Amino acid sequence: MNRIVFSFFFVITSLIARAQTSDCACFVKGVVKDQHTGQPIVGATVLIVGQNSGVFTDENGRYELRNLCPGAYTLECRIIGYNPFREKLDLTAGHEENFNLLEQEVHLKDVEITAHRTDAPSSQPLSTISGSDLEKTRGQNLAESLKGFTGVTSLQTGSSISKPVIHGLHSNRILIMNNGVRQEGQQWGSEHAPEIDPFIATRLSVVKGAAGVRYGSDAIGGVILVEPEELPFDKSLSGELNAVGFTNGRQGVLSGTLQGGIKGFKGFGWRAQGTIKRGGNIRTPNYFLDNTGISEKNFSLAAGYRKKGLGIDVFYSRFDTKIGIFSGSHIGSVTDLLSVIENGEPFVKSGFSYNIGRPNQNVSHELIKAETHYHFQNGNRFQWTIARQLNDRNEFDLHRPRNDSIAALNHPELTFKLTTLTNDVIWDHKPIAGKLAGQLGISTLYQYNLMDGRPLIPNFNQFNIGFFWMERYVKNGWELEAGMRYDYRTLTSFRIVNREKVSQDFKFSNFSGTLGATRNFSEKFSARLNFGTAWRAPNVSELFSDGVHHGAAAFEKGDATLQPEKALNTIASIKYAGPKFTAELGGYYNIISDFIYLKPQSEPILTVRGAFPYFKYTQTDATFKGIDLSASWEIVKYTTISSKLSYLRVYDQRNNNYLVMIPSNRIDNQIKYELPEDAKWHKAYFSIGNLFVAQQKRVPPASDFMAPPKAYSLWNVQTGTTFNLSEKQQLEVGIAVQNLFNVAYRDYLNRFRYYADDMGRNVSLRLKWKFGA
């Protein structure tokens, strides 16, 4: 629903006039309109940043700011559901002569802006990557693309499977909104990466902290928004072609987009996009990792129609991947694991190959969605989104079945088919008294999972309904926000116990709330505070797991009596944004009660493959507190230093202990030199960066087979530029070297840390050809 990227534009008419008595008699007035509809936007806030003067647009979308002294200002316009828009105004230099003009002789300034609709609470930190920063991540998977944000790390299974981690929380505790639809896959597994092609998006955003009210249950750690560009309604044909090559894994990625309007059909727009990726065995500094190739084919189609207040969008995407799992990571028993740890490197050696053999996973994800919205004349807006997702995951074990006739079938040992239907209706009500803007919504989700093969999780049906209501009040540089939500969920599981079908019913329900404030002290300085709650019902793997996890040599057992976990997150940040220096400091304190985790049991459990360490899903109370700091400073002209620090401490309050699998603290520094703009060369830059990741020392004693890996430091260099080939054609070139010194390292949040080193040096070449409008 909220994924519909929405554009609107402002027409700003600046009138500069001199009054007879005072110099401070300049005024700015204009109208705020919606680009799709051309209709005025009622109730938008227009303010001069740094001053306590702000007005709302009237029923005709008009606003007027009076009594301004000559000078430079930043005008800001905000409305719920849109990112704030800022525009610099100069009411001094070059305009003095205008002061003699009559009011009718207007200095007219038309500004057309494309702003993106986001529904994230404004008092929660929202980081966005788009444009050239996003281009630099092209070719990487979704989680890797997000690693540039402070407080965001990744949980990896080797180098090709990674999942985003926000403030130490991941998997089911993070929600991914793919094009406005809740991504529903088998998120519970650490080797189950999000099934999304990042090339779909022109914007990736992270909402940090509990955002349960707007996005629904599970958003305990945060929300990731994957948003494509607005469709090119009535525009001429345009497109882009991306080609990325990586030396490590000899990986190639090709992605293209074509888009445009349709001549003779006013209001139409369409887009077709596709990506192919192929890579072979990954090389660590000292050896290749056997069977770590990847093959991926994705495409998406979108079409839309706009007329007056009406908008209709349809979207279809298919993601299809085949990923080899490092064969040395298949562990039969604890003895196997201990001997590979002792050996220091994998027993399985190999050279380079593109071949993907067992073990491997083949995953496809299909999304079809339709969205429609309507703006009413009076300022109300309705949006309705329906979507259907099909997630088909097939996992092949290292060993084929011993029985030849079964082996010949080459069936996956594990198959999960998850079908999800979501349905969201959102009403943006018209502003009340010009000050209070808000949103009400109903979301439903129906889901069923069919599982086949080695028993792992049961089949289930799940139904969820949620109601939410949020309001925002803006006055005098203050922005206050409050919202609440109620969710009700039923879950019915079906499994075979002693050759009998057993079904079990679960019911969960909960309220979530959010309360926040934003204060703009001046044009450059602002502060935010947000209290948010979110909850998460235990998932089927936490309820019913019962078996050996072959990657971790652990016996994991679920508990059907688990209760939902609840998070209360306090998050505060201050931001200073000057012309040469920008800094943002954020702190968070997330209290999660009944936090579900795998608790080591004192007695090992006996299986035919020997005794395995025994872990049971248990609940405790955990606190996650941390600091995110980012700063950038232009020390001399064209040269910028930037730093990002992520610091996190997690504690198990009930047992007075640390928790396992918490990302280590890290600091990322970069120095970047940007060449002055040239007629032919644009945005040419050269940068050197270093990432230092500390050792995770806060782990429970004797909780792991080996101590968390040592700290590591990685260097990278990047350079790139954009050429204007012609008026309508651009070529962007980028070269990057990751792990410049080919350092052998292991990361605590990589499941393969027991078996092998992480990826060695990787040189990449990136080309992007863009043509048309």
| Interface residues toward another protein, by CB under 8 A | 330-333, 335-336, 339, 347-348, 374, 376, 380, 382, 384, 386, 388, 398-404, 406, 409, 411, 413, 419, 421, 423-425, 427, 442, 444-446, 448-450, 452-455, 458-461, 492, 494-499, 501, 503, 546-548, 555, 557, 605-611
Query: Which residue lies nearer to another protein by CB, 406 or 641?
Result: 406
- Quote the radius of gyration of the chain (alpha carbons, Å): 27
The minimum distance between CB 193 and another protein, in angstroms, equals 24
DSSP per position, 541-608: HHHH-EEEETTTTEEEE--TT---EEEEEEEEEEEEE-SSEEEEEEEEEEEEEEEEEEEEPSS-EEET
Can you spell out the DSSP letters for 163-194?
A: EEEETTEEGGGEEEEETTEE--S-TTSTT---
Q: Judged by CB, which is closer to another protein: 196, or 337?
A: 337
Q: How far is the CB of 421 from another protein (least distance, A)?
A: 6
Judged on CB neighbours under 10 Å (0-12, 13-18, 19+), 533 is buried
Angle among Cα 133, 687, 719 to the nearest 5 degrees reads 70
Distance CA 194, CA 455 (A): 23
CB closer to another protein, 20 vs 561:
561
Query: 78 or 485: whose CB is closer to another protein?
Result: 485
Distance of closest approach, residue 420 Cβ to another protein, in angstroms: 11
Give whichever of 390 and 591 is closer to another protein, judged by the CB atom. 390
CB of residue 454 vs another protein: minimum separation in angstroms?
Answer: 5
Side-chain-side CA neighbours of residue 478 (13 Å):
9
Quote the tokens at residue 84.
């704030």
- Sign of the alpha-carbon torsion through 193, 195, 197, 201: negative
Provide φ and ψ at 252, rounded to 5°: -125, 140
Smallest distance, Å, CB 665 to another protein?
Answer: 35
48 DSSP β-pair partners: 75
**Which tokens belong to 184?**
């529903």
How far apart, in whole angstroms, are the C-alpha atoms of residue 654 and residue 651?
9
Handedness of CA 524, 525, 531, 535 (dihedral sign): positive
For the CB of residue 491, give the shortest distance to another protein in the complex, in Å: 11
- Closest distance of CB 325 from another protein, Å: 13
Q: How far is the CB of 122 from another protein (least distance, A)?
A: 26
Closer by beta carbon to another protein, 108 or else 450:
450
Q: Collect all residues with Cβ–Cβ distance below 8 Å to 483 and sequence separation of at least 6.
A: 121, 213, 214, 468, 469, 470, 471, 513, 514
Closer residue to another protein in complex, CB, 555/595: 555
The nearest distance, CB 473 to another protein, in angstroms, is: 24
Question: Which residue matches tokens 């010009």?
Answer: 434
Measured from the CB atom, the residue of 419 and 742 that comes closer to another protein is 419
Q: Give the H or E element holding residue 496.
A: strand 478-497
Q: Which is nearer to another protein, 414 or 693 (CB)?
A: 414
Taking the complex as a whole, the smallest distance from the CB of residue 428 to another protein amounts, in Å, to 13
C-beta closer to another protein: residue 605 or 631: 605
Q: Rounded to the nearest 5 degrees, what angle is found at the Cα of 465, between the Cα atoms of 172 and 436?
A: 95
